[in-house]
């Protein structure tokens, strides 16, 4: 008899999923398991052999580059070790046997063998040899990458929609991999509601629950799960009655979603005639389809740093240009706000993090524009790519994490430098391109005059603004209960930022997660906000709320919110606004 139980976490992406658990460990993250028909086994073995040969060539090329270049000697030793590991039959031959015996795909065979090897190495007493475990994983992952670049034929029977991934932790880079799949939901033991992992999860538009503490220990592979991404509840091995109840809820939600679709082409206007811009936050050019489907009138935040993750090396200027141009053209004349890359903190990029070193406290370290100003060559490459793409659509530049007037000056000077270099080469770009700044550090709100004087537009990143105002790490579930958008200090900073920008007639948006929370739409409207940017999946429900709101009627309650000294009182006032 299966034991039924429930787990509670933080629901970070709404909806209900019902399916089977698949436990995920890091090395096997991208690897699915499928059965290979008998007639295709030979081809599957050949696919594995080719991948190994390609990695052999890769290592040879590295070796050659090393002998001709100025590379430290220890790098050579490291390459030799990798070469030996790759050519050892335990890695290059055993997986072939597994493919044949288990009739499974090559990726699966390789990851299985990798876990066996890693386990063996963990038993070794000699510390030096034990450490070689990471070399094995690195070599294995090189082969895995080759295999994943040339996937075999997936049989149609794999129903990803009914697979619920259960992991201890996922990085934003891991989650972005899921965009290629259609998993039903996912759960993690750790994470905070506005961590980048949660944000990307929302962008996948599947239910997700983080901070479940020990889901990965308690749940077994293939167990039946119900995930309620709104309530943050996971039911493991539900009985029939519970299952029926959730199936009903699931179909009701689907019905509501269908109804909302009718609002797609309708302009977002309040009852008393205020026009509201509803823009989308995207991570990759592929997100455009969802953006247009949900009727966004612009991209308010393109988190360009995601172009830098999950790949070898850095994207070249041309690659970046193509990505930005695709978005600019895809949005057909609507504004596209490209945020210059915001790496560091929880979004790591190997190699780049080497440059930026791992800071003792990454959230307060060399992140975002600070990193760009410290590495101007990388920054100029990106700026040139954005400027070149600005010839093909309405592109705007948005700079993250600005804290001071001098950072604005340095950024504007680098933009000018990038423009000048394009001029010299005779490359077309929009000389009048608008440059905006993100307001996500309290200092930027308190001394906002430099921002309104020097920038064309502003966008409040509430995720970071809350983190820095309350000194609560947004990715740390241990302090997730202290992370509060309705803290009086947060609400007052928001009110001040919006009022200052409106008075100076500098357009201001909110692009943090608060903008996509229907329960907060009226509060933000009441504070004077007219431009919201959010994950595309929330656009239509926020539009529905805008259409039924009257800004003038919110005034009294908003005045009381501004004077209020407790989150609870503010929450009650917000509820009253929503009941109007
Ligand atoms: C924010 O901080 O609110 C924001 C929109 O940027 P990110 O979430 O990418 O840090
Ligand atoms: Mg931010």
Q: Is 196 exposed, middle or buried (0-12, 13-18, 19+ CB in 10 A)?
A: buried
Give the mean pLDDT of the chain: 88
Cβ(274)–Cβ(549) below 8 Å: no
- Which ligand number lies closest to the CA of residue 512? 1
Compute, in angstroms, the gap from residue 9 CA to the centroid of ligand 2.
23
Give the per-residue pLDDT at 75. Answer: 58
Positions of E strands within 314-386: 335-339
Residue 423 pLDDT > 90, yes or no? yes
Q: Which atom of ligand 1 lies nearest, measured to the CA of 196?
A: 8
Determine which of 106-110, 175-179, 319-323, 485-489 has the lowest per-residue pLDDT on average. 175-179
Give the per-residue pLDDT at 118. Answer: 80
| pTM given for the model | 0.75
Q: Which atom of ligand 1 lies nearest, measured to the CA of 463?
A: 3
Q: Please, what sign has the CA dihedral across residues 184, 189, 191, 194? A: positive
Give the per-residue pLDDT at 191. Answer: 80
**Ligand 1 pocket list (CB less than 6 A):** 199, 301, 303, 342, 440, 461-464, 511-512
Using alpha carbons, select from 535, 465, 467 the residue that is nearest to residue 495. 465
Question: Which pairs from 371-374 meet CB under 8 Å and 24+ separation?
Answer: 371/343, 371/344, 372/340, 372/341, 372/411, 372/414, 373/407, 373/410, 373/411, 373/414
Cβ(109)–Cβ(48) below 8 Å: yes
Question: Among 284, 342, 402, 524, which residue has the most ligand 1 atoms within 8 Å of its CB, making it the best to mutate?
Answer: 342
Residues with a known catalytic role: 196, 511
Using alpha carbons, select from 151, 136, 139 the residue that is nearest to residue 106. 151
Q: Structure tokens of 133?
A: 């475990």
First to last CA, the chain: 50
Specify the residue with its C-alpha closest to ligand 1, atom 1. 461
pLDDT mean over 292-321:
91
What is the residue whose two structure tokens read 């979603």?
257
Compute, in angstroms, the gap from residue 532 CA to the centroid of ligand 2.
15
Give the per-residue pLDDT at 266. Answer: 95
- In terms of average pLDDT, the best of 122-136, 240-254, 349-363 is 240-254
Using alpha carbons, select from 99, 129, 103, 127 the residue that is nearest to residue 113. 99
Cβ(186)–Cβ(165) below 8 Å: yes
DSSP summary character for residue 456: S
Give the per-residue pLDDT at 158. Answer: 39
108-122: per-residue pLDDT in tens? 899 888 888 887 887
DSSP summary character for residue 347: B
Q: Name which residue leads in pLDDT, 124 or 473.
A: 473
Q: Which atom of ligand 1 lies nearest, measured to the CA of 461?
A: 3
Q: Identify residues whose C-beta is under 5 A from ligand 2, the ion.
A: 440, 461, 464
Q: Which residues pair with 394 in a beta bridge?
A: 335
Q: Structure tokens of 71?
A: 């590379």
Specify the residue with its C-alpha closest to ligand 1, atom 10. 464
- Of the CA atoms within 13 Å of residue 471, those in its CB half-sphere come to 0
13-64: per-residue pLDDT in tens? 888 999 998 877 655 555 677 788 889 999 999 999 999 998 888 888 777 7
**From CA 224, how far away is CA 402, in angstroms rounded?**
47
Give the per-residue pLDDT at 157. Answer: 35
pLDDT mean over 63-68:
68
Give the per-residue pLDDT at 422. Answer: 98
Q: Which atom of ligand 1 lies nearest, measured to the CA of 459?
A: 5
Question: Among 345, 463, 509, 534, which residue has the most ligand 1 atoms within 8 Å of its CB, making it the best to mutate?
Answer: 463
Q: Structure tokens of 406?
A: 């001098």
Q: Please, what sign has the CA dihedral across residues 317, 318, 320, 324? A: positive
What is the residue whose two structure tokens read 């210059």?
340
**From CA 438, how far away is CA 402, in angstroms rounded?**
7
């Amino acid at each position: 008899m299966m034991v039924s139980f429930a787990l509670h976490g933080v629901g970070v992406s709404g909806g209900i999923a019902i399916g089977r658990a698949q436990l995920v460990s890091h090395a096997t993250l991208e690897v699915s398991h499928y059965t290979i028909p008998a007639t295709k086994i030979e081809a599957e073995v050949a696919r594995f052999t080719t991948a190994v040969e390609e990695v052999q060539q890769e290592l040879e090329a590295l070796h050659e580059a090393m002998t001709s270049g100025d590379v430290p000697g220890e790098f050579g030793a490291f390459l030799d070790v990798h070469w030996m590991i790759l050519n050892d039959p335990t890695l290059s031959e055993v997986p072939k046997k597994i493919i044949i015996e288990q009739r499974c795909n090559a990726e699966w065979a390789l990851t299985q063998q990798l876990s066996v090897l890693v386990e063996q190495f963990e038993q070794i007493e000699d510390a030096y040899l034990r450490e070689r475990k990471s070399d094995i994983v690195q070599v294995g992952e090189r082969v895995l990458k080759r295999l994943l670049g040339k996937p075999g034929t997936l049989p149609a029977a794999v129903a990803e929609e009914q697979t619920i991934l259960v992991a201890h932790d996922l990085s934003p880079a891991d989650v972005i991999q899921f965009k290629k799949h259609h998993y039903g939901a996912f759960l993690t033991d750790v994470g905070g509601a506005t961590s980048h992992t949660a944000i990307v999860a929302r962008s996948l538009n599947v239910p997700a629950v983080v901070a479940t503490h020990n889901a990965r220990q308690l749940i077994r592979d293939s167990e039946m799960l119900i995930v309620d991404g709104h309530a943050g509840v996971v039911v493991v091995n539900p009985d029939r009655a519970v299952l029926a109840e959730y199936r009903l809820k699931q179909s009701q939600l689907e019905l509501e979603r269908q109804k909302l679709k009718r609002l797609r082409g309708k302009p977002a206007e309040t009852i008393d005639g205020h026009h509201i811009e509803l823009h989308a936050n995207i991570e990759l050019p592929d997100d455009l389809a969802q953006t247009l489907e949900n009727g966004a009138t612009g991209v308010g935040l393109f988190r360009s740093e995601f172009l830098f993750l999950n790949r070898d090396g850095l994207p070249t200027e041309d690659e970046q240009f193509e990505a930005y141009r695709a978005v600019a053209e895809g949005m057909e004349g609507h504004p596209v706000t490209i945020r210059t890359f915001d790496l560091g903190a929880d979004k790591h990029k190997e190699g780049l993090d080497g440059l930026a070193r791992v800071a003792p406290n990454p959230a307060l370290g060399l992140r975002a524009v600070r990193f760009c100003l410290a590495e101007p060559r990388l920054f100029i490459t990106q700026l040139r790519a954005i400027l070149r793409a600005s010839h093909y659509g309405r592109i705007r530049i948005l700079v993250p994490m600005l804290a001071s007037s001098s950072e604005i000056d340095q950024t504007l000077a680098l933009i000018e430098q990038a423009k000048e270099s394009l001029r010299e080469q005779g490359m077309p770009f929009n000389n009048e391109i608008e440059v905006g700044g993100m307001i996500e550090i309290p200092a930027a709100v308190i001394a906002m005059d430099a921002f309104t004087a020097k920038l064309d537009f502003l966008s409040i990143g509430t995720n970071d603004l809350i983190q820095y105002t309350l000194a609560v790490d947004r990715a740390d579930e241990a302090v997730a209960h202290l992370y509060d958008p309705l803290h009086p200090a947060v609400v007052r900073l928001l009110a001040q930022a919006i009022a200052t920008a409106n008075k100076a007639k500098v357009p201001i948006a909110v692009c943090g997660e608060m903008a996509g929370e229907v329960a907060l739409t009226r509060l933000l409207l009441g504070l004077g906000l007219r431009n919201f940017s959010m994950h595309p999946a929330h656009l239509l429900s926020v539009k529905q709320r805008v259409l039924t709101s009257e800004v003038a009627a919110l005034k009294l309650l908003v005045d009381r919110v501004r004077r209020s000294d407790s989150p609870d009182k503010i929450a009650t006032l917000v509820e009253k606004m929503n009941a109007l």
